[in-house]
Amino acid sequence: MFSLVITAVYSGISFDSDSAVQDIKGFLLILATEILFTFVYAVFMLFYEVLPLLRKETGDRLYSLSAYYVSLVLLMVRSSL
Amino acid sequence: MTLLELNYANPLLLQIPRVLFETFMYTAIIYFSTDIGRDFGTYLSISISITMSGICAMAYGFFLAGLFESLFIGTELSAIVDLILLLVSGVYINVRTVPLLKYISFFFYANESVAINFWLTIDEIKCRKPSHTCFPNGTAVLESFGFGTSDVVMYEHYLYQLILTIVLHFLAFIGIRRNVKKIGFY
């Protein structure tokens, strides 16, 4: 959704304008950083939803926290490739 | 036991293909709608650079979850950590001024990689008004920002990001374990 907002602002940039380099610098910057925020907070928010279950399961000694964490990260790396 | 772990990993795992898919969608929408977005190869390399930083960004999300005990405190204070990372990324300040601190910021890696991807493809920039500062080509622009001017720098960044991802996951795990123990078990 916010990609449409960025598009609306930056759709006019081109090499023909006087401030081309500055425009494009800002454009590339927004392009690179804005989406990273969504990734950070997607994980951040979700972790607190999982946390109560995690506390219960590890408290019951069903599995250790390190096993949970490692499996999570390994699966994450595999499926993001 | 493995089944259980997989079960509870599920809500998090569902987020993972997002990094790849969302980055490509998002970059396509923004990049191709501008006048400068005509080169498909540049689009692909920009998307890959953002994806690499996206993986690092997710590790940072874990790190934040480990750093703060509750969601309330986390949302209040994470903005400060974000601000530090954003400030040293070369957005509002030339990266030459922050020699070491920038290497902890995945915003810096994303910013510089994307800049290299784009500006290296620009061979000539027309000078509209001779009185202004004019850059002859993309490499000159990169130099003025203090960024690297070759693909090698970008690949080094991919490597550094991988190391940063591992370090962040390690710290995140320590933090989460501390949080779980501190709050106590049910």
Give chain A's count of helices (H) and strands (E): 3, 0
pLDDT given for residue B5 in this prediction: 54
User: In sequence order, what E strands does chain B have?
Assistant: none
Q: How many CB atoms lie within 10 A of CB A32?
A: 28
Binary contact (A72, B12; C-beta < 8 A)? yes
Taking all residues of chain A, what is their mean pLDDT, rounded to a whole number?
74
- Residues of B whose CB is below 8 A from A71: 2, 5-6, 9
Report how far residue B175's alpha carbon sits from residue A38's, in angstroms, rounded to the nearest whole number: 22
Average pLDDT over residues B19-26: 78
Terminal Cα-to-Cα distance of chain A (whole angstroms):
25
Read off the amino acid at residue B159.
Answer: L
Contact B102, B110 (CB under 8 A): no
Among A53-67, B94-108, B157-171, the range scoring the smallest mean pLDDT is A53-67
Please report, as a single letter, which amino acid is at residue A50.
V
Q: What is the mean pLDDT of residues B80-106?
A: 83
Name the residue with tokens 């390690």: B170
Chain B residues within an 8 Å CB radius of A41: 61
Helices B40-67 and B71-87, packing angle to 10 deg = 130
Mean pLDDT computed over A26-38 = 83
Q: For chain B, give the mean pLDDT.
A: 80
Hey, are the CB atoms on A35 and B22 less than 8 Å from each other?
yes
A64 — alpha (psi -120 to 50), left (phi > 0) or beta? beta
Work out the angle between the directed axes of helices A20-59 and B151-183 (0-180°, nearest 10): 30
Cβ contact B78:B63 at 8 Å: no
CA A30 to chain centre: 14
pLDDT of B7: 55
Reported as a pLDDT band with limits 50, 70 and 90, residue B163 is: very high
Task: Note the ipTM here.
Answer: 0.73
Confidence of residue B159 (pLDDT cuts 50, 70, 90): very high
Predicted model pTM: 0.79
pLDDT digits (tens, 9 = 90+) for B37-65: 778 888 888 888 888 888 888 888 888 88
Residue at B35: amino acid letter: D
Cα–Cα distance between B146 and B107 in angstroms, integer? 15
Res. B16: pLDDT tops 50: yes
The band of A76, judged by pLDDT with boundaries at 50, 70 and 90, is low
Q: Given a cut of 50, is residue A81 above it in pLDDT?
A: no
Residue (of B10, B2, B147) closest to A32 by Cα position: B147
In chain A, positions 18-77, which contact chain B (CB-CB < 8 Å)?
Answer: 18, 20-21, 24-25, 27-29, 31-33, 35-60, 62-63, 65-69, 71-73, 75-77
**Stretch (H or E) spanning A8:** helix A2-10
Residue A79 clears pLDDT 50, i.e. is over it = no
- φ/ψ region of B150 (left if φ > 0, alpha if ψ in -120 to 50, else beta) reads beta
| Share of residues in chain B with pLDDT > 70 (%) | 86
